[in-house]
Amino acid sequence: MFDDWEPFYAATSGNPVRALCLEAIRTAGDPRGRLALDLGAGAGRETAALLAAGWHVIALDGAPGAHLRIEASAPPEDRARLTVTEQSFGSLDRLPRAGLVYAGYALPFQRPDTFARTWSLIRAALEPGALLAVNLFGPRDTWAADPAITTHTLAEARALLDGLEIVALREEEREGHAVGGPKHWHVLDLVARA
């Protein structure tokens, strides 16, 4: 169902930076000389916002041609602080240590076994004091029945943050739209500090 991301990129090209990314930038602290990971960077909107805030950024996305979209989203004066890795979550064997890890609506798009492995790598990448900000899907999301999607209850999401300081843990359900049409959204926002 989610093999071709081009229609999504085309439909969302003018969208603003996601609120969770802006919250992470405000909450993370001084970015000078620090690394942020943008996991599932997509079209690069949030990557560009992280760069504009002063972070060094590694943007990771597994969609073909991701590096072209992400690099184009970054102003030329910020590109020296940008590294783009075109790689799927399933092929990761490690992530570098970072002061901020952001994953907006990307982590659910993997099978549960891959998610568990990816989550372990994310947790290992958090420097002391690092900020983690991710969106997850809840079990009542329209896409929850797809076996290639990973969902979490609020209790399961809280367990993922065990040992971290929870800054925010929000659950939202609403009727809305996705690129493919109407959709029931069940989303969890997780913000935590190592």
Burial of 41 (0-12, 13-18, 19+ CB in 10 A): buried
Rg of the chain (C-alpha set): 16
What's CA 12's distance to the chain center, in Å? Answer: 16
pLDDT values of the chain reduced to their tens digit, one per residue, 194 residues: 566 666 666 656 677 899 999 999 999 999 999 999 999 999 899 999 999 999 999 999 998 888 898 999 999 999 999 999 999 999 999 999 999 999 999 999 999 999 999 999 999 999 999 999 999 999 999 999 999 999 999 999 999 999 999 999 999 999 998 877 899 999 999 999 99
